[in-house]
Amino acid sequence: MRRVAQVIRVRPEMLAEYRRLHEEVWPAVLDRIRHANIRNYSIHLRDDLLFSYFEYHGTDLAADLASMAEDPVTQRWWRLTDPCQRPLASAGPGEWWAPAEQVFLMEE
């Protein structure tokens, strides 16, 4: 299992819409996330920062994410959520959600 954490900014004027969208995420979007071997996915908010965390249980994260990005329902979902977000200034070329480095882990 691989832990993945990412950060992006939410546009303050779009926060209510972003929250509304995530109150009722489309079942097909959730199914596609599961099909991409992603488990325990969550998004957290602090000020204008969104922090996401998920656990990846597959063998090729890049391929699973690419497959998810090709899904027409996921693309329609992103057309609604993307205008609510803006990448961090430190995001690399082509990055939307910027990866966050794990610096500490405590497991039981």
Question: Can you tell me whether residue 46 is helix, strand or coil?
Answer: strand
Residue 22 known to be catalytic: yes
Query: Rounded CA gap, 67 and 35, in Å?
Result: 10
pLDDT in the model for residue 81: 98
**What domains appear along the chain, each with residue ranges and CATH number?**
2-99 (3.30.70.1090)
Residue tagged active-site, from 22, 35, 44, 57: 22
The SS3 call for residue 39 is: strand
Kind of pairing, strands 2-10 and 38-46? unpaired
14-44, pLDDT tens digit by residue?
A: 999 999 999 999 999 999 999 999 999 999 9
Q: What is the pLDDT of residue 9?
A: 98
The predicted-structure confidence for 38-97, as pLDDT tens digits, reads as follows 999 999 999 999 999 999 999 999 999 999 999 999 999 999 999 999 999 999 998 999
